[in-house]
């Protein structure tokens, strides 16, 4: 806490987003190996996608992967979530380390049961990261497609909501705006 | 740079400031209305479920922005800088209309006992619980004025607990939703007194604006058809129409300018281009909301007021309160969701007062219609947080859930407070609000009791299983923020007198929820509006052409 605070003390505040951007810019714009991601490396994206698919799995309805949840997270990590870049980078690395340590393989290629076992551990021991990616997975799955997730409104279709989102209903035909 | 002198400069175009602007301008005073946010257009509404005023995971819909407006929060983990889109910030919208631009628009009158909490319940240890210096009867004509000028729909005739009203509400309630029809007979069976919530929302065309189209994008969003009433589409346009009021948006006020004798002579503010301006005025009206009004007074320093204007006895910023929101969530076998907004429609006031052993209570009502992402807040503790079981729950329960919740009238705490932070400044170099303190333990007790009542109502309505939550001890604030510039007769234990005039300086007024001694067991908007009408009326009665009678 005191570290973050001390950078802000005794000077006019220029904004968290600006300050966050200064730290994250090199990462955000340093697309590695020509991957199509904004923030993630290809490996990170594979791990994140596999995690999200366990959080919201496909069944007879689409899951996180088909909804493009990782695309949502990747976009937001270069926008409103810039402040979470470090937690993601180190969290995904920890998940990989735990996976290789326990099962000798990358998280993304483990069996669903093995992935769930890893995530049960991560939920308890890498908590800030797990809570973040869980919240973001829900946003990317259930939120508005304009932000990069919920592709084809899959979650809204699953819940049986009229789509595309009905803007309103004319149940009381009082005509056009008066005066 | 100094601008042309006016009779009154009002800081903040929200619920309070909007009404004052209209009342003073209509009476012929020249008025400048300063607003730090923008004037949003109803038609420009984005209907963004992740970026609005209620769900802010990608930022606030209607301000303030995270880049320029930090605050400092002190809690048991220490102190940290917080930003407007974070829950701990205690945000209220920064735009023309303030909270009323995107609120749920419940239009409650407080009850008679809400103005006499100390007399009704006695002293509560560890609390500054006190009576208001005015009674319900003083506010009643102005509640009526607010209801008719802005427009309220609803029907509270079955609310036997309500304070007497002279006139009925101007508009009938909206037709009932499925939730309403489920909850209504259940309340009857429990011997409760359910009724249609008064709402600042047109159920029929009113005042040249159309009626609600029942969409699912309500609380937290702009109203696309302008059927919901706030100060932005009622009193502020009326103020501008007089020709006596100028509205300046995106203007951030720095402090109140005082002359050598400690009399206010205007305000200094940063305009849209961030240039420092001085607006001189005979009167200064502070209407920035409970956190920012206290901050403005505390940032106004003077030889006579070294710790802030109005703060001689250290009461400015104290008693920050809002509402604790206990809730019950009921899971039903049949579908309860009919996709008809705004959602909240039925309420009971059976538990606002008269709860054995408790100093107050609050109303209970069904919750606003829930978008899919918002529904993630209503997952029971027995469902795993992730995986197949979680997905199964959301898919099954989204349309089979009814939520009942309500605002508990909080027991004020002297140390729940706003200060000017000594080291952190905002974008303009102005010391930010520093917030600290906790809720009173008795507030938590009341909230836990109310949670039980909410769940009981849902079980009677047929819920096969219920869960819920009560109160938590952290600092209370948010959109219902109040209490930081208490109204009272004794200058040693309050900040403004019953006319909302600073005890210390006769040409500075605070007119917003800051002056609420207690905050009722209700959404406070209508009380803020009514009190702004009352304070404006009293101000105008003492207005002498260039000053008020001292």
Residues B59/A79, Cβ–Cβ less than 8 Å: no
For residue A165, the model assigns a pLDDT of: 57
Distance (Å) from the C-alpha of residue A169 to the closest C-alpha of chain B? 5
Residue contact A59–B79, C-beta within 8 A:
no
Number of domains in chain A: 1
Q: Could you give the CA distance from residue B394 to residue B384 in angstroms, rounded to a whole number?
A: 11
Decide if B116 is inside a domain.
Answer: yes
User: Does B16 fall in a domain?
Assistant: yes
pLDDT at B490 over 70: yes
Distance of alpha carbon B317 from alpha carbon B322, whole angstroms: 13
Reported as a pLDDT band with limits 50, 70 and 90, residue A171 is very low
Helix, strand, or coil here: B82?
A: strand
Confidence of residue A21 (pLDDT cuts 50, 70, 90): very low
- Label the pairing between strands B71-75 and B431-436: parallel
CB contact under 8 A, B208 and A178: yes
The shortest C-alpha distance from A170 to chain B (Å) reads 5
> Percent of chain A, pLDDT > 90?
70
Note whether residue A168 is domain-resident.
Answer: no
* Chain B closest-CA separation from residue A19 CA (Å): 9
pLDDT confidence of residue A10 = 36
Q: What is the mean pLDDT of residues B146-151?
A: 98
Candidate from A23-32, B351-360, B496-505 with smallest mean pLDDT: A23-32
**Residue A131 belongs to some domain of the structure:** yes
pTM summary value: 0.93
Range with the poorest average pLDDT among A33-47, A156-170, B521-535: A156-170
Counting Cβ atoms within 10 Å, is residue B474 exposed (0-12), middle (13-18) or buried (19+)? middle
Could you give the 3-state DSSP secondary structure of residue B295? Answer: helix
Q: How far apart are CA B433 and CA B121, in angstroms?
A: 32
Residue B285, both tokens? 């009206």
ipTM for the predicted complex: 0.94
For residue B140, pLDDT over 80 is answered with: yes
Number of other residues whose CB lies within 10 A of the CB of residue B17? 31
Cβ-contact B151, B171 below 8 angstroms: yes
Average pLDDT over every residue of B313-317: 98
Chain A, nearest residue to B81 by Cα: A5
For chain A, how big is the Rg over CA atoms in Å? Answer: 20
Q: How many domains does chain B have?
A: 1
| pLDDT band at residue A162 using 50, 70 and 90 as cut-offs | confident
CA angle A111, A114, A116 (to 5 degrees): 110
Residue A35: the pLDDT is: 74
Instruction: Determine the straight-line distance between the first and last CA of chain A, rounded to whole angstroms.
Output: 56
Are A143 and B398 an interchain contact pair (Cβ–Cβ within 8 Å)? Answer: no
pLDDT of residue B455: 98
Q: Are B366 and B404 in contact, with CB atoms under 8 Å apart? A: yes
* pLDDT per residue as tens digits for the range B151-200: 999 999 999 999 999 999 999 999 999 999 999 999 999 999 999 999 99
Helix (H) or strand (E) holding A66: helix A64-67
> What is the pLDDT of chain B when averaged over all its residues?
96
What's the token pair of residue B164?
């007497």
B514 within some domain? yes
Contacts of A132 in chain B (CB under 8 A): none
Q: Helices A127-142 and A112-125, interaxial angle, to 10°?
A: 120
Residue A170 has pLDDT above 90, yes or no: no
- Which burial class, exposed, middle or buried, applies to A125 when counting CB atoms under 10 A from its CB (0-12, 13-18, 19+)? exposed
* CATH at residue B10: 3.50.50.60
Residue B41 — very low, low, confident or very high, per pLDDT cuts 50/70/90?
Answer: confident
CA distance B19 to B268: 22
Residues B183 and B189 sit within 8 Å (Cβ to Cβ): no
Q: Tell me the C-alpha distance between A33 and B237, whole Å.
A: 56
CA distance B341 to chain A (A): 9
Domain residues for A24? Answer: 16-159
B309 lies in which domain range?
1-43+94-103+108-134+230-313+487-550
A119-157 pLDDT, tens digit per residue, is 999 999 999 999 999 999 999 999 999 999 999 999 999
Q: What is the pLDDT of residue B93?
A: 96
- Give Cα B531 to chain centroid, integer Å: 13
User: Is B88 among the domain residues?
Assistant: no
Nearest to B205 among A139, A161, A178 (CB): A178
Six-digit token string for B181 = 């029809």
As beta bridge partners, residue A68 has: none
In a domain, A172, yes or no: no
Domain assignment present for residue A179? The answer is no
Give the model's pLDDT for residue B42.
76
In this predicted structure, the answer to whether residue B94 has a pLDDT above a threshold of 90 is yes
State the first-to-last Cα distance of chain B, in angstroms, to the nearest integer.
30
Nearest to B153 by CA among B256, B229, B77: B229
Confidence of residue B547 (pLDDT cuts 50, 70, 90): confident
Confidence of residue A31 (pLDDT cuts 50, 70, 90): very low
What confidence tens digit (pLDDT) does each residue in B224-275 have? 889 999 999 999 999 999 999 999 999 999 999 999 999 999 999 999 999 9
Q: What confidence tier does A164 reach under pLDDT thresholds 50, 70, 90?
A: low
Instruction: Give residue-wise pLDDT tens across range B444-456.
Output: 999 999 999 999 9
Q: Provide the pLDDT for residue B420.
A: 98
Residue A174 lies in a domain: no
Quote the percentage of chain B above a pLDDT of 70: 99
Interface test with A, best of B206, B209, B373 (most A CBs within 10 A): B373
């Amino acid at each position: 806490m005191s570290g973050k605070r001390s950078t802000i003390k005794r000077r006019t505040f220029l904004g968290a987003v600006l300050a966050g951007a200064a730290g994250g810019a090199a990462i955000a714009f340093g697309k590695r190996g020509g991957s199509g991601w904004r923030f993630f490396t290809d490996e990170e994206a594979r791990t994140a996608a596999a995690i999200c698919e366990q959080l919201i799995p496909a069944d007879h309805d689409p899951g996180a992967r088909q909804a493009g949840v990782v695309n949502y997270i990747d976009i937001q990590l270069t926008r409103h979530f810039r402040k979470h870049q470090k937690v993601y980078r180190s969290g995904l690395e920890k998940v990989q380390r735990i996976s290789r340590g326990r099962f000798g393989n990358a998280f993304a290629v483990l069996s669903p049961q093995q992935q769930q076992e890893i995530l049960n551990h991560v939920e308890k021991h890498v908590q800030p990261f797990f809570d973040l990616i869980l919240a973001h997975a829900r946003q990317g799955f259930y939120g508005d497609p304009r932000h990069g997730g919920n592709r084809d409104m899959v979650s809204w279709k699953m819940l049986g909501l009229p789509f595309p989102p009905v803007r309103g209903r004319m149940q009381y035909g009082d005509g056009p705006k008066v005066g | 740079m100094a601008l042309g002198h006016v009779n009154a400069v009002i800081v903040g175009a929200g619920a309070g400031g909007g009404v004052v602007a209209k009342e003073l301008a209509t009476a012929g005073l020249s008025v400048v209305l300063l607003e730090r946010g923008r004037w949003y257009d109803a038609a420009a509404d984005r209907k963004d479920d992740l970026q609005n005023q209620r769900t802010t995971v990608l930022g606030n819909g209607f301000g303030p922005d995270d880049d320029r407006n930090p605050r400092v929060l002190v809690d048991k983990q220490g102190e940290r800088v917080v930003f407007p889109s974070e829950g701990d910030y205690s945000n209220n919208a920064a735009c023309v209309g303030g909270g009323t631009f995107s609120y749920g628009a419940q239009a409650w009158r407080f009850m008679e006992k809400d103005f006499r909490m100390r007399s009704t319940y006695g002293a509560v240890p560890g609390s500054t619980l006190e009576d208001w210096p005015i009674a319900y009867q003083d506010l009643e004509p102005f509640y009526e004025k607010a209801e008719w000028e802005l427009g309220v729909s609803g029907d509270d005739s079955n609310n036997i607990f309500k304070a007497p009203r002279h006139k009925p509400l101007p508009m009938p309630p909206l037709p009932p939703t499925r939730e309403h029809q489920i909850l209504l007979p259940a309340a009857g069976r429990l011997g409760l007194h359910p009724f249609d919530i008064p709402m600042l929302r047109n159920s029929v065309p009113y005042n040249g604006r159309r009626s609600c189209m029942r969409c699912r994008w309500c609380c937290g969003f702009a109203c696309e058809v302008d059927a919901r009433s706030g100060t932005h589409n009622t009193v502020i346009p009326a103020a501008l129409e007089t020709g006596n009021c100028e509205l300046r948006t995106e203007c951030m006020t720095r402090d109140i300018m005082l002359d050598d004798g400690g009399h206010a002579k205007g305000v200094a503010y940063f305009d849209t281009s961030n240039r420092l301006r001085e607006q001189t005025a005979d009167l200064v009206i502070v209407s920035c909301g409970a956190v920012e009004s206290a901050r403005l007074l505390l940032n106004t320093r003077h030889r006579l007021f070294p710790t802030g204007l109005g703060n001689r006895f250290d009461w400015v910023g104290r008693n920050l309160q809002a509402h604790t929101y206990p809730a019950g969530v009921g899971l039903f076998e049949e579908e309860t969701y009919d996709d008809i907004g705004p959602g909240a429609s039925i309420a009971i006031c059976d538990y606002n007062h008269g709860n054995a052993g408790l100093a107050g209570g609050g109303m209970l009502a069904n919750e606003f219609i829930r978008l899919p992402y918002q529904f993630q807040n209503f997952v029971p503790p027995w469902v795993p947080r992730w995986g197949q079981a979680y997905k199964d729950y959301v898919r099954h329960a989204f349309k089979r859930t009814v939520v009942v919740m309500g605002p508990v009238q909080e027991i004020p705490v002297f140390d729940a407070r706003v200060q000017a932070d000594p080291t952190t400044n905002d974008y303009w170099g102005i010391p930010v609000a520093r917030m600290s303190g906790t809720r009173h333990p008795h507030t938590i007790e009341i909230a836990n009791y109310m949670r039980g009542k909410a769940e009981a109502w849902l079980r009677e309505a047929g819920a096969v299983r219920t869960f819920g939550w009560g109160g938590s001890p952290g600092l209370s604030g948010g959109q219902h923020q109040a209490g930081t510039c208490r109204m009272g007769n004794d200058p040693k234990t309050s900040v403004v007198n019953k006319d909302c005039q600073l005890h210390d300086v006769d040409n500075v007024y605070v007119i917003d929820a800051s002056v609420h001694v207690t905050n009722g067991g209700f959404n406070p908007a209508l009380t803020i509006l009514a009190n702004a009408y009352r304070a404006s009326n009293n101000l105008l009665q003492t207005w002498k052409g260039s000053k008020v009678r001292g």
